[in-house]
Chains A and B, each alone.
Chain A
């Protein structure tokens, strides 16, 4: 990416963050209130539905739900970024990476606020804190890169085929409900079909990067790190290749 595109990406992302709350009464506070309200409602509903002890379930649920929401937001907002950037890409020689990257920066900034809220909420409901939580900034990295990689792949595909949006949305929904985010992975007996399915699900390992330090008070295993970073690396490589190889074709489909 050239210097002008890099600078524009950064300034554009900053402006989008500024504009999001510029005309709201509570302004910047919404960055904190929005995830707090979301987590509050969800913990109440699911603890009632699952009949679990609310505090315990909330700690489990929030630990992987916050990174999942970030990942999902990155993929979905990156997907239409090139198409919605036609006002720019049809007029100036800007790198097609600029717009998905700007969306990724905005989503990452919002994730940092959600992360801060997560800790405030956990401080109120979690009984025991361990050193394992120090690994969380590193645990966020594969989530972020996986989201960006898939977002770039989707951005390229969506430019050519607009009807992939519902396919991606359905795919994300399936991935979410089949991953051990709402339920615990050890719910199913070893050797069962469900347990076997979870062992093939990349989100199982990504979720473990947050669930183990926060909920179980343990370090994520080597397998968790390996699968998570491998999935992130493959998706990022695929995304970069998809956008690079098609950069000359996008104009004709905008």
Chain B
């Protein structure tokens, strides 16, 4: 059961992905499998995870590639429905997943049009986006370019606009998956400063990153995932030390 202050609660959550070649995705293969009563081959990305995240908490999720970090974040974002277990998300919280910058952006639309489109995906009304548009453009440093199609933007400009939109809306919960390679060094400092301001204001944050030092500066709790299981859950220094020792790099 999730506590009264919890934003997320996961109980025995398991997620499996079907493995298989391209041919195995065909109708013919499905019918043959049905006749032979074959079970599909699966890869277990999460294997019975129990986790609770409290309101205002800043959690860092670490682990090697393929450990299940991004899958966990997608379960929290309700993008993935687990095959087993229960997921509880506080229905009063506005959750913004930052799994990738610029989700929903259409290359041929202008920056301004894309802000409206992607803003709708984040649950904001036209009025709310209009009210914030100047601030979003100013933060992204795109004053002279906002009416141009985003396909003409540099990758830095594109990422700046996307980050500015996602964080200007002041979400109650932010789920961040390795997106801090935004623009140049100065802009990245601006982004980190904005993240810290949001976190200080009470935004619950779940970070997935391989940059342990960055995570240790932002988070008060680490969860180490290994092979779809929680290997350790605790203070960042202890979990990071155990993780590094496990990797043989400490």
Q: Which residues of A contact B (CB under 8 A)?
A: 3-4, 7-8, 11-12, 15, 18-19, 22-23, 87-94, 160-164, 247-249, 251-253
From B17, B80, B99, B125, A7 is in contact (CB under 8 Å) with B125
Given contacts A164-B27, A251-B80, contact A4 B106 (CB under 8 A): no
The 7 closest A-B pairs by CB, nearest first: A248-B81, A4-B123, A93-B78, A161-B27, A7-B120, A8-B120, A91-B103
Is there an interface contact between B26 and A15, defined as CB atoms closer than 8 Å? no
Q: Nearest Cβ distance between residue B61 and chain A, in whole angstroms?
A: 17
Give the docked Cα–Cα distance between A4 and B96 (Å): 12
- Chain B 154-165: CB-based contact to A (< 8 A → 1; otherwise 0): 000000000000
A11 and B79 form a contact (CB under 8 A): no
Give the dominant DSSP class at A's interface.
helix
Which single member of B81, B97, B109, B125 contacts A251 (CB below 8 Å)?
B81
Contact partner of A92 (CB less than 8 A), chosen from B25, B79, B125, is: B79
Residues of B within 8 A of A93 (CB): 77-79, 97
CB–CB A161/B26 < 8 A: yes
CB contact under 8 A between A11 and B81, given known A19-B108, A160-B30: no
Specify the chain A residue showing the minimal Cβ separation from B82: A248
Interfacial chain B residues near A23, Cβ < 8 Å? 108
Chain B residues proximal to chain A, CB less than 8 Å: 17-18, 25-28, 30, 74, 77-81, 97, 99-100, 103-104, 106, 108-109, 113, 116-117, 120-123, 125
CA distance A251 to B16 in the complex (A): 11
Take A91-B100, A161-B30 as given contacts and tell me if A22 and B121 are in contact as well, using a CB distance cutoff of 8 Å. no
A11 to B115 CA separation, bound complex (whole angstroms) = 11
Structural contact, B27 and A92, CB atoms closer than 8 A: no
B28 contacts which chain A residues (CB < 8 A)? 163
Residues of B within 8 A of A163 (CB): 26-28
Q: How far is the CA of A202 from the CA of B17 in the complex (A)?
A: 41
Q: Which residues of A contact B78 (CB under 8 A)?
A: 93
For this complex, 23 residue pairs linking A to B, each with C-beta atoms less than 8 Å apart, are: A7-B120, A8-B117, A11-B117, A12-B117, A15-B117, A19-B106, A19-B109, A22-B108, A89-B79, A91-B97, A91-B100, A92-B97, A92-B104, A93-B78, A93-B79, A161-B25, A161-B30, A162-B25, A163-B26, A249-B81, A251-B80, A252-B18, A253-B18
User: Which residues of B have CB within 8 Å of A164?
Assistant: 27
Q: Are B104 and A8 in contact (CB under 8 A)?
A: yes
Tell me how many residue pairs across A and B have CB atoms closer than 8 Å.
Answer: 71
Complex Cα–Cα for A139 and B142 (A): 49
Min distance, Cβ A41 to any Cβ of chain B, angstroms: 30
Please report the C-alpha to C-alpha distance between residue A12 and residue B103 in the assembled complex, in whole angstroms.
13
Q: Which residues of A contact B26 (CB under 8 A)?
A: 161-163
The answer to whether A3 touches B123 (Cβ under 8 A) is: yes
CA–CA, A88 and B97, complex, Å: 12
- Contact of B120 with A4 in the complex, beta carbons under 8 Å: yes
Shortest C-beta distance, A82 to chain B (Å), equals: 14
- Distance to closest chain B CB from A103 (angstroms): 15
Beyond contacts A15-B109, A88-B121, A92-B97: 20 other A-B pairs, Cβ-Cβ < 8 A, are A3-B123, A11-B120, A19-B106, A19-B108, A19-B109, A88-B104, A90-B79, A91-B97, A91-B99, A91-B100, A92-B79, A93-B77, A93-B97, A162-B25, A163-B26, A163-B27, A163-B28, A164-B27, A251-B79, A251-B81
- The chain A residue sitting closest to B113, CB to CB, is A15
Tell me the smallest distance from the CB of A65 to a CB of chain B, in Å: 31
Bound together, the chains give a CA A248 to CA B27 distance in angstroms of 20
